[in-house]
């Protein structure tokens, strides 16, 4: 993924409940009328592969540091895998790729679990930078309300509030150059901004 590609990679970062997936889908719908586009969550593996990875080598209980490190490694290699096997070919074939989270989301969240992920070293070094990178910021109270509405069984606790606040702070530190989008605004307005940056006037 280091050489020039025909398509463009647009990364959307932000805490859970900030509206990333909704934004990706809204941009995708609008873009799809004019150009080939795909949405991908590059930190995610299909469930069966994730289960397989964790079953293969999950360190024994009691060694929490190694467990956290192992999970971080699985996600790092997932990003690398998706970068090489899915995103690279899509870009080469001229598709616009909307990435629902990117390396910064991984680095920032792992820091909260006490794991240092270095994006300049393998396996992440080969990924390259997105052509456009957005950070969706949102008041944490709003993110938690949305999460509760979206996931019916989920009840937000005090530690969720703290986690999301720290996560958002870490993301801001990790992405000083990203374009900021205010996630409390209507999604159509946020999508219009991204589309305009992509040269699409609605």
Judged by the rule CB under 5 A, the positions of this chain that interact with Mg ion are 21
- Cα–Cα distance, 26 to 188 (Å, whole number): 7
CB of 54 to ligand ADP, least distance (A): 22
As given in the structure block, the two tokens for residue 139 are 């008041």
Q: Which does 29 bind (CB under 5 to 8 A by kind): ligand ADP, Mg ion, none?
A: none
Residue with Cβ nearer Mg ion (21 or 172): 21
CB of 1 to Mg ion, least distance (A): 23
- Cα–Cα distance, 103 to 128 (Å, whole number): 10
**Judged by CB under 6 A, which of 22, 132, 148, 192 binds ligand ADP?**
22
Residue with Cβ nearer ligand ADP (19 or 88): 19
Q: How many CB atoms lie within 10 A of CB 18?
A: 29
CA distances from 68 to 58, 65, 202 (A): 10, 5, 45
As given in the structure block, the two tokens for residue 98 are 């909307």
Asked if residues 79 and 124 have their Cβ atoms less than 8 Å apart, the reply is yes
142 φψ region: left (φ > 0), alpha (ψ -120 to 50), beta (else): alpha
* Count of residues that interact with ligand ADP, criterion CB under 6 A: 14
Residue with Cβ nearer ligand ADP (9 or 136): 136
CB of 100 to ligand ADP, least distance (A): 7
**Judged by CB under 6 A, which of 7, 13, 14, 78 binds ligand ADP?**
14
Residue with Cβ nearer ligand ADP (45 or 181): 181
- Cα–Cα distance, 181 to 191 (Å, whole number): 10
**Judged by CB under 6 A, which of 36, 114, 149, 169 binds ligand ADP?**
149
Quick one: CA dihedral 136, 140, 143, 147, positive or negative?
positive
Residue with Cβ nearer ligand ADP (88 or 101): 101
Asked if residues 102 and 42 have their Cβ atoms less than 8 Å apart, the reply is yes
CB of 39 to ligand ADP, least distance (A): 11
36 binds ligand ADP (CB under 6 A): no
Q: Which residues bind ligand ADP (CB under 6 A)?
A: 14, 16-22, 146, 149-150, 183, 186-187
């Amino acid at each position: 993924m280091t050489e020039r590609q025909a398509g463009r990679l647009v990364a959307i970062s932000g805490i859970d409940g900030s509206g990333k997936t909704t934004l990706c889908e809204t941009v995708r719908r609008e873009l799809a009328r004019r150009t080939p586009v795909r949405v991908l969550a590059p930190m995610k593996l299909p469930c069966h592969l994730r289960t397989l990875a964790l079953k293969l080598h999950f360190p024994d209980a009691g060694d929490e540091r190694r467990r956290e490190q192992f999970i971080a490694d699985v996600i790092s290699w997932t990003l690398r895998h998706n970068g090489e096997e899915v995103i690279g070919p899509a870009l080469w074939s001229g598709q616009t790729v909307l990435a629902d989270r990117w390396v910064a989301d991984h680095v920032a969240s792992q820091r909260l679990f006490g794991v240092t992920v270095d994006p300049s070293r393998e396996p992440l070094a080969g990924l390259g930078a997105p052509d456009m990178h957005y950070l969706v910021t949102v008041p944490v109270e709003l993110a938690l309300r949305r999460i509760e509405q979206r996931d019916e069984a989920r009840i937000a606790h005090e530690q969720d509030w703290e986690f999301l606040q720290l996560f958002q702070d870490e993301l801001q530190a990790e992405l000083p150059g990203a374009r900021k989008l205010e996630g409390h605004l209507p999604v159509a307005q946020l999508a219009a901004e991204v589309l305009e940056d992509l040269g699409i006037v609605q």
